[in-house]
Amino acid sequence: MKTLIAISLGLFLSITASSQTCLPDGIVFTTQAQIDSFQINYPGCTEIYGNVYIGYQDYESNITNLTGLNSLQSIRLDLYIWYDNSLINLIGLENLNYIGRDLYIAQNDSLITLQGIENLISIGGDISIIGNNALCTCEIQSICNYLANPTGSVDIYNNANGCQNPFSIASACGITITCLPFGNYNLLSQTDVDNFQTNYPECTDLEGQVVISGSNISNLNGLSKVTSIGNWLIIEYADSLLNLSGLDNLNSTGGLLIWFNLKLTSMSGLDNLISINGHVLIGENDSLQDLGGLENLNSIGGSLDIDYNTRLNNIKAIENIESATITDLYIYGNPNLSTCQIESICDYLANPNGVVLIQENAVGCNDQEEVEAACDVGLKEAAISESLISIYPNPASTHIIIEASIPINNGTLKILNLQGHELYHYQIKGSKMNIDISDLTAGVYFVRFSSENTVTMFKVLKY
């Protein structure tokens, strides 16, 4: 036993003596000269404690080879190889056998092969190979080993054929991956969607996030067996997508982001979605008219954000969300949305859990005060209008008269245009007030009266 311990200790000391740690804060290489002089500047440095950047974002480098790094054996944190115009392969990193965290290879315009990092034994975190337009050879031993037994999430997309996605690389490696244990899934064309069940035949409960993005994606039928997504479901820039049919069996996600989909008219297809364990953002969908399809959604675990959907006029479908599960509430920039006093929103405004921002919608949903008023008044508004406040004449040309059945001690009157912009603001005392509207152009306006206990909205025609 003593002999074995002595041998092990000797081996450890030998390995330790042969390597030298350095650069606890990492290093950035942006030029070939920095690569070439590495061993001169850091003699004996084989193990870098910090992050290593080869190339750098917002600084397009022209590093042509990595042979100056051939002494490097270990990187304790992340390795970034990105935004370089001239690197063709990764030869020079053959002795690198350990990366403590993430490997990130992205936006290298001339990179053809990952040859050079085939001897990596351990990648401790995530792997990302993204946007290398010429990269077609990724099935090197280290990448094959990682895909066979991932230790983190996988993002592989927007490279050349042969390195387009995890499935294509795994096939070239001769291995089968039925489901990525940590995600992620990037479906960037109709073909990607259609082939999903073929590529991942046993994958119904997906970890990580799912990104669906591509101008030719017109249906999501290839995802019909998916029942849950552990992280974000992101649907963006799918300009041919009319609805979300195909996601009919999805019952939960870790977040929902649906934005910049030119032709999407509804959420139909998410009819069985019950819970979202994170933020919800629905925005910039130019054809979206309502949120039909989300009627069964009853809980979210983050903010609810509905913004800049230019044709959206109905959000009734989300009335069943339990208000206590909403953190912040944002409803803004939806110029056709006038009715927001649905149960979930009213309950939230009665007891908000965070930030509230309601603005730039149609009259009735143009600010928090209007929605709160509609929630409080509801069906009683007409009766209150008749019994307490009257406006005449209507239509009117030069003046309108506001008259209350009882004196008003502290009231406010606003005149708004159809876009909800405030044009006039008055303080009311007494029971009668004469308002000059001669400066207004002909058209329809809203008169909003509020006092301590009452908020009432009237429509007035100016001719």
Sequential DSSP letters for 45-113: --EE-S-EEESBTTB-B-----GGGTT--EESS-EEEESBSS----TT-TT--EESS-EEEE--TT--B
101 plus 164 within the same structural domain: yes
Distances (CA, A) of 85 to 15, 64, 89, 117, 129: 37, 8, 12, 19, 16
Mean pLDDT, rounded, for 370-382: 63
Element (H, E) at 36: helix 32-36
Would you call 223 helix, strand, or coil by DSSP? helix
Q: Is the pLDDT of residue 325 over 80?
A: yes
173 plus 258 within the same structural domain: no
CATH code where residue 262 lies: 3.80.20
65 plus 142 within the same structural domain: yes
Mean pLDDT, rounded, for 413-426: 77
Examine residue 10 and state whether it is found in any structural domain, yes or no.
no
Examine residue 249 and state whether it is found in any structural domain, yes or no.
yes
What is the tally of structural domains in the chain? Answer: 3
CATH code where residue 431 lies: 2.60.40.3080
**Mean pLDDT score of the chain:** 88
Q: Is the pLDDT of residue 14 over 60?
A: no
* End-of-domain residue from the set 329, 362, 395: 362
Q: Is the pLDDT of residue 7 over 50?
A: no
Number of CB atoms found within 10 A of residue 145's CB: 17
* End-of-domain residue from the set 362, 395, 413: 362
120 plus 34 within the same structural domain: yes
349 plus 419 within the same structural domain: no
**pTM score over 0.85:** no
Examine residue 349 and state whether it is found in any structural domain, yes or no.
yes
Mean pLDDT, rounded, for 3-18: 38
Q: Is the pLDDT of residue 277 over 60?
A: yes
Q: Distance between CA atoms of 105 and 79, rounded to whole angstroms?
A: 8
Examine residue 369 and state whether it is found in any structural domain, yes or no.
no
355 plus 419 within the same structural domain: no
50 plus 116 within the same structural domain: yes
CA torsion, points 102, 108, 112, 115, in degrees to nearest 10? -30
Q: What is the pLDDT of residues 193-212, one digit of tens each?
A: 999 999 998 899 999 999 99
Residue in the block written with tokens 């509801």: 378
Mean pLDDT, rounded, for 65-90: 97
124 plus 92 within the same structural domain: yes
Range of the domain at 345: 209-362
336 plus 412 within the same structural domain: no
Examine residue 373 and state whether it is found in any structural domain, yes or no.
no
33 plus 164 within the same structural domain: yes
pLDDT of residue 454: 60
Examine residue 4 and state whether it is found in any structural domain, yes or no.
no
Determine contact, residues 46/19, Cβ cutoff 8 Å.
yes
Q: What is the pLDDT of residues 438-456, one digit of tens each?
A: 888 887 787 877 766 566 7
| Span of 29-33, 193-197, 253-257, 349-353 with lowest mean pLDDT | 349-353
pLDDT of residue 379: 34
Q: Is the pLDDT of residue 10 over 50?
A: no
Mean pLDDT, rounded, for 162-167: 94
232 plus 325 within the same structural domain: yes
Tokens (6 digits) for 14: 């030998």
Q: Distance between CA atoms of 339 and 375, rounded to whole angstroms?
A: 10
396 plus 347 within the same structural domain: no
* End-of-domain residue from the set 335, 362, 389: 362
Examine residue 191 and state whether it is found in any structural domain, yes or no.
no
Q: Give me the percent of the chain exceeding a pLDDT of 90.
A: 71
Examine residue 82 and state whether it is found in any structural domain, yes or no.
yes
